[in-house]
Amino acid sequence: MSSLCVSETLVPTATSSAGMQLADVTRPENVTTITLDGHGDVQLVADRYGDVGAQPVIFLHGGGQTRHAWANTAASLACAGYCVWIVDCRGHGDSGWAADADYGLDAMIADLGHVVAATGGLPTIVGASMGGLTAMVAIGEGKVPTASRLVLVDIAPRIEAAGVARILTFMKAHPEGFVSLDDARDAIATYNPHRPPPRDTAGLRKNLRQGADGRYRWHWDPRFLDHAPHPSTTTEEVLLARRLTAASAITIPVLMLRAARSDVVSEAGLQELLTLIPHAHAVNIADASHMVAGDRNDVFASAVLDFLPPVRRESDIDFGGRVPEAAMPRK
């Protein structure tokens, strides 16, 4: 592919057993579930993996997902020596639902600020789709000044309307829920027919909740799909302009991981990102597609690990107003 920055294609490792569904990694013993105060009295739930004094990495999931999409990646990175935070975004998973149904970008950014502060360090932020947009704008607008690196997982300032519409159609389907976990698995398989369905549906239990009627429903606030409480100020044109401006202001190291089968980030969208952030590095992930509810995002893990700063304890870092050596790009 033509590029403004060296790009490459990464083939998922042989540990992939079913598309993005990877074999479970043994959960480390030092995992703590934490409840944080988010914006507007919304409680955020996160799992913290690894030594609290180690270099922090924050993972944000995509719309309709939960923190468990990153669980295997978190376990692997914790074993490599990092302190990893995987977070349920507001209205998702075990985090609280916004009483005022505010799931707009500014609320998400404010929540991220609380999470970054809780790490007490200079975190790398990894964001998939919605989580990536949140992190990109937050960093570009200076809302999380201690962030040291950014990984965007299949997201760019300019996204493809058709791909977004397909995702929203999937998310809005089955409001009545599913009779069984097998039915939910089949719905995912219909959405992504090229991806082999998981042999074991147990992992879906973390993404669905069984109601009093016995049916399984995705574990997000359905009002999230109408996430802008003031639509007149959040048209796509306004949001796009904001994303473009924010991206152009980012100075920290950036890695863009694009799913080769993505219908959300086009080649043109990728090249625009590399123009806005000329120091960014892009990697295509072969055979991967845009992530949705029920997915694990582990197919991107090895590229994330390669991009992270060398393992270093935060107690060894000089916070004297500069980005430490550990937060600078590897040569």
pLDDT of residue 9: 55
Residue 235 vs residue 231, higher pLDDT = 235
Structure tokens, 85:
């935070």
Residue 111 has pLDDT above 90, yes or no: yes
User: Could you tell me which residue, 197 or 145, shows the higher pLDDT?
Assistant: 145
Higher-scoring residue by pLDDT: 325, 139: 139
Question: Which strand (E) or helix (H) includes residue 104?
Answer: none
Task: Tell me how many domains the chain contains.
Answer: 1
Instruction: Categorize the per-residue pLDDT at 115 as very low, low, confident or very high, splitting at 50, 70 and 90.
Output: very high
Mean pLDDT, the chain, rounded, equals: 83
Phi-psi region of 184 (alpha: psi -120 to 50; beta: other; left: phi over 0): alpha
Question: Does the pLDDT at position 324 exceed 50?
Answer: no
Residue 311 has what pLDDT? 83
* Mean pLDDT computed over 156-181: 90
pLDDT band at 158 (very low <50, low <70, confident <90, very high): very high
| 97/65: higher pLDDT | 97
Give the confidence band of 171 by pLDDT, cuts at 50, 70, 90: confident
**What are φ and ψ of residue 16, in 5° steps?**
-70, 120
Nearest-CA neighbor of 196 among 16, 7, 3?
16
Residue 326, domain member (yes or no): no
Residue 140 lies in a domain: yes
Contact 207, 219 (CB under 8 A): yes
The domain of 215 spans: 7-313
Model confidence at 130: pLDDT above 60: yes
Give the lowest-confidence range in 115-119, 268-272, 277-281, 287-291: 287-291
In a domain, 298, yes or no: yes
Tokens of 271: 């090249």
Q: Is residue 330 part of a domain?
A: no
Candidate from 239-243, 253-257, 296-300, 312-316 with smallest mean pLDDT: 312-316
Could you give phi then psi for residue 126, rounded to 5 degrees? Answer: -115, 120
| Residue 319 belongs to some domain of the structure | no
Listed in order, strand segments (DSSP E) in the chain are 7-10, 16-18, 21-22, 31-37, 43-49, 56-60, 83-87, 124-128, 149-153, 208-210, 216-218, 254-259, 281-285
Mean pLDDT of 102-108: 94
The percentage of the chain sitting over the pLDDT mark of 90, rounded to a whole number, equals: 56
pLDDT band of 114, cuts 50, 70, 90: very high
Q: pLDDT at position 293, please?
A: 52
Please, which pLDDT band fits residue 136 given cuts at 50, 70 and 90? very high
Judge whether residue 21 has pLDDT over 80: no
Examine the pLDDT at 319 and tell me if it is beyond 60: no
CATH number for the domain harbouring residue 187:
3.40.50.1820
Domain presence at residue 327: no
Tokens 């999409």: give the residue: 69
Burial of 61 (0-12, 13-18, 19+ CB in 10 A): buried
Q: Which residue has the tokens 């937050």?
A: 138
Task: State the pLDDT confidence band at 169, using cuts at 50, 70 and 90.
Answer: confident
DSSP string, 152-210: EES--SS--HHHHHHHHHHHHS-TT-BSSHHHHHHHHHHHSTTSPPPS--GGGGGTEEE
Q: What are phi and psi of 203, to 5 degrees?
A: -65, -25
Which range is most confident: 121-135, 153-167, 205-219? 121-135
Distances (CA, A) of 76 to 24, 83, 84, 103, 312: 10, 11, 10, 30, 16
Return d(Cα 216, Cα 209) in angstroms, integer.
Answer: 5
User: Does some domain include residue 300?
Assistant: yes
Specify the pLDDT at position 234.
56
Pick from 43-57, 234-248, 301-315 the range whose average pLDDT is largest: 43-57
* 127 assigned to some structural domain: yes
Q: What is the mean pLDDT of residues 159-177?
A: 89
